[in-house]
Amino acid sequence: MNKEDMDAEVKARIVKERVAFPQLKNLWKSKQLSTNIKVRIFNTNVKAVLLHGTETWRTTTTTIKKVQVFINSCLCKILNIHWPDTISNSLSWERTNQHQAKD
């Protein structure tokens, strides 16, 4: 897969997951579910689809950054942190037991 195809694939997957993520809005806002359960649902229903097959991609720093920005945005919503409130990426990863996307 060349760079243009890769960029298009990443963009398409992020768009697809940007549509899917809000459909679970009631889950993300639920007070009955723990953050741990919400993150597990996110990992299996959003992140897994987004990252499926990525081990075969020729990743670039730009590609990884785009994916990480989307994941970070989702984690903030799961943690109920909305603009103008902020949280560092490392703290959101720690609170959700997630890891930064790597090359």
Q: What is the pLDDT of residues 56-94, one digit of tens each?
A: 777 788 888 889 999 999 999 999 988 788 888 888 888
Q: What percent of the chain has pLDDT over 70?
A: 97
pLDDT at site 44 = 93
DSSP string, 55-89: GGS---HHHHHHHHHHHHHHHHHHTT--TT----H
